């Protein structure tokens, strides 16, 4: 990895019997937008607050540019922080809120005024400098919290579900803005969310946590296209799971038996011949054809219309119910419940998962 700004080594955090973090190793690159993604209780906030200095690790270290900062208090780490619920100081104006970290650092009035104006412009809140927090909408308050966190030029910005209190449309707008701000400033962002779409749309890299452990990490596309485990395949997007037996190796993949029928699965490193394996198959990789074609016969059991996509459950005798997702504009077959269909997919649509 190019220049590492933060290194977390063998981080353990125990609360009684609970392992909130269980031997986490993670390097964060300078300027990276890194997202910690996982279900509730997976350890995301614990990891973020350990980096911030609010949580003392039971074991392990946090280093910043090669210096061990494990026992340094939060204020000495100098990281910017934005947490959910936009905790602005209610008795201070927007400008005073943004200027507060600079005041604490003993900056001059002129310097504070100039930087506050700059930061408020950055988040398009210049017009609101004299307002009180309670006179702002949720999205505006979160913008001010962001300006405040950036005002003192922190090397790292820590964000814990900063958009979770906002409605879907506003959240989507602010996701674009945050991403643009990250690109403009080049500051390292560590972002916590349990929202997979948010993680996929903003991050350079996603770290998936479960039970206090890193399950997998990688660029959004790499993780989505090549999940290693059932958990990742189902947490990041949706998947069908199929059980196959590897019958033989072929160039670039394996010949397999799927419920008594031969299929080929592309893989750079397929499991050994004879192995029973589990594969993930994304719903959008399954093509729907008319009844009687080559493929897996089935019958549409349920249709859920989602606007630009429709999600179908197709009952098959061979493989049980399969989830199929298709763009609604591609309406060669109008998917109605009860319709008999044939399902097909390409050899590179299935991904071998690690044995559990």
Q: How many CB atoms lie within 10 A of CB 251?
A: 5
Tell me the C-alpha distance between 135 and 123, whole Å: 17
- β partners of residue 303: 312
* Minimum distance from residue 258 beta carbon to ligand ATP (Å): 36
Between 16 and 274, whose beta carbon lies closer to ligand ATP?
16
Between 44 and 278, whose beta carbon lies closer to ligand ATP?
44
Between 83 and 100, whose beta carbon lies closer to ligand ATP?
83
Between 40 and 108, whose beta carbon lies closer to ligand ATP?
40
Cα 81–87–93 angle (5° rounding)? 105
* Minimum distance from residue 249 beta carbon to ligand ATP (Å): 40
Would you call 355 helix, strand, or coil by DSSP? coil
Q: Are 36 and 214 in contact, with CB atoms under 8 Å apart?
A: no
* Minimum distance from residue 23 beta carbon to ligand ATP (Å): 14
Interface residues with ligand ATP (CB under 6 A) are 15, 18, 20, 38, 40-46, 194
Q: Running DSSP on this structure, what letter comes out for residue 312?
A: E
* Minimum distance from residue 290 beta carbon to ligand ATP (Å): 44
Sheet architecture: strand order including 320-327: 287-290, 340-344, 296-305, 309-316, 320-327
Between 15 and 305, whose beta carbon lies closer to ligand ATP?
15
Between 12 and 255, whose beta carbon lies closer to ligand ATP?
12
* Minimum distance from residue 160 beta carbon to ligand ATP (Å): 8
* Minimum distance from residue 167 beta carbon to ligand ATP (Å): 19
Supply the DSSP string of 35-81, one letter for each residue.
Answer: EEE-STTSSHHHHHHHHHTSS--SEEEEEETTEE-TT--HHHHT-EE
Q: How many CB atoms lie within 10 A of CB 238?
A: 15
């Amino acid at each position: 990895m190019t220049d590492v700004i933060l290194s977390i080594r063998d981080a353990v955090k125990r609360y009684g019997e609970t392992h909130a973090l269980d031997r986490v190793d993670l390097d964060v690159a300078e300027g990276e937008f890194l997202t910690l993604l996982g279900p509730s209780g997976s350890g995301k906030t614990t990891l973020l607050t350990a980096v911030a200095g609010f949580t003392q690790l039971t074991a392990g270290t946090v280093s910043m540019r090669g210096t061990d900062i494990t026992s340094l208090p939060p204020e000495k780490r100098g990281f910017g922080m934005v947490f959910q619920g936009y905790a602005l100081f209610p008795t201070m104006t927007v400008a005073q809120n943004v200027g507060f970290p600079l005041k604490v650092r003993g900056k001059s009035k002129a310097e504070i005024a100039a930087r506050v104006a700059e930061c408020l412009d950055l988040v398009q809140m210049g017009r609101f400098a004299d307002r009180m927090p309670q006179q702002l909408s949720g999205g505006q308050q979160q913008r001010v919290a962001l300006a405040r966190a950036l005002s003192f030029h922190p090397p790292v910005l820590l964000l814990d579900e900063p958009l979770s209190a906002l409605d879907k449309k506003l959240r989507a707008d602010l996701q674009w803005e945050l991403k643009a701000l990250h690109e403009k400033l080049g500051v390292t962002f560590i972002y916590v969310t349990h929202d997979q779409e948010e993680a996929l749309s903003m991050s350079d890299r996603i770290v998936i946590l479960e039970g206090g452990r890193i399950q997998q990490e990688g660029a959004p596309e790499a993780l989505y296209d090549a999940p290693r485990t059932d958990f990742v395949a189902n947490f990041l997007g949706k998947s069908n799971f199929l059980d196959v037996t590897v019958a033989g190796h072929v160039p670039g993949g394996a010949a397999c038996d799927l419920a008594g029928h031969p299929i080929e699965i592309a893989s750079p490193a397929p499991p050994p011949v004879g192995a029973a394996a589990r594969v993930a198959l994304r719903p959008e990789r399954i093509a729907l054809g008319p009844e009687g074609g080559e493929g897996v016969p089935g019958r549409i059991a349920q249709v859920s219309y989602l606007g630009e996509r429709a999600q179908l459950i197709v009952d098959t005798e061979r493989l049980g119910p399969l989830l199929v997702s298709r763009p609604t504009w591609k309406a060669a077959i109008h998917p109605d419940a009860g319709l008999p269909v044939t399902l097909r997919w390409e050899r590179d649509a299935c991904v071998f998962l690690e044995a559990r």
